[in-house]
């Protein structure tokens, strides 16, 4: 279970206030995969970072009774001067897992080859995402946070990632940000729509998708949303 209590977050961009969370109170249940939907710029990725603990809210708090991953697909937490192996060993110590086992698991899964022993600053964004996904899938979490990971790698890697991820969430929960409505429809049971700092939670993923489509339909007509 993850519960947002009176959660608020606002940015000031070019002198204007951008509200991501306006006193949010919502519970993401245990053992359920939830699609986090919303138009571009609604603040979905920011909310994932707040839930993960890598960004602080202005007010309120995130309460959880289990472990939470960092946002899979977001690799900003890696130290650029350390190699992929060294970053993996560091995270193994942070999360209390065997470092040798984690290194071998990530080496096999991420398919980075010789780059695994090179500094992460030399990686492409796709390679960083492979590393982040490989590490997160090799560590047991109660809730996985996912930010567009399906876009990483070639078709073979995406198929493998999807298979491993489905195995993980079969016994855990997930909060997933994705532009692919087909993907979240077949992966998630519940949905939440973020719009102008407010969140609408649905226990039926199809209702959440309909709400999301109502929001983006006029934006697409105006060429403001893919």
What's the rounded Cα separation, in Å, for the pair 187 and 223?
Answer: 28
Exposed (0-12), middle (13-18) or buried (19+): which is 188, by Cβ within 10 Å? buried
| Domain limits, the chain | 1-57+174-226
**pLDDT string in tens for the chain (226-residue length):** 999 999 999 998 888 889 999 999 999 999 999 999 999 989 999 999 999 998 999 999 999 999 999 887 665 678 999 999 999 999 999 899 999 999 999 999 999 999 999 999 999 888 888 898 899 889 999 999 998 765 556 778 878 888 888 898 888 999 999 989 999 999 999 999 999 999 999 999 999 999 999 999 887 666 666 6
CA separation, residue 51 to residues 47, 68, 95, 120 (Å):
6, 8, 17, 25
pLDDT reported for residue 221: 67
Tokens 């390679």, residue located:
127
pTM: 0.87
- At the second CATH level, the architecture of 1-57+174-226 is 3-Layer(aba) Sandwich (3.40)
What's the rounded Cα separation, in Å, for the pair 146 and 179?
Answer: 12
Query: Which residues contact residue 205 at a Cβ distance below 8 angstroms, ignoring those fewer than 6 apart?
Result: 35, 184, 185, 188, 189, 190, 191
């Amino acid at each position: 279970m993850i519960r947002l209590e009176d959660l608020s977050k606002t940015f000031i961009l070019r002198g204007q206030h951008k509200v991501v969370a306006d006193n949010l109170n919502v519970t993401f249940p245990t053992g359920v995969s939830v699609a986090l939907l919303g138009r571009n710029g609604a603040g979905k990725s920011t909310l994932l970072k707040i839930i993960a603990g890598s960004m602080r809210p202005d007010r309120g708090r995130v309460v959880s009774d289990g472990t939470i991953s960092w946002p899979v697909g977001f690799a900003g937490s890696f130290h650029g001067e350390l190699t992929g192996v060294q970053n993996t060993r560091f995270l193994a110590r942070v999360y209390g897992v065997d470092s040798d086992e984690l290194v071998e698991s990530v080496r096999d899964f991420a398919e980075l080859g010789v780059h695994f022993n090179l500094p992460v600053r030399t990686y492409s964004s796709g390679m960083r995402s492979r590393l982040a996904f490989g590490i997160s899938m090799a560590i047991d979490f109660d809730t996985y946070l996912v930010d567009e990971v399906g876009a990483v790698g070639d078709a073979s890697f995406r198929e493998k990632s999807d298979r491993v991820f489905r195995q993980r969430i079969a016994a855990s929960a997930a909060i997933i940000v994705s532009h692919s409505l087909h993907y979240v429809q077949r992966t998630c049971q519940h949905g939440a729509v973020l719009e102008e700092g407010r969140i609408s939670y649905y226990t039926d993923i199809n209702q959440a998708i309909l709400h999301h489509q109502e929001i983006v339909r006029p934006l697409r007509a105006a060429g403001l949303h893919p």
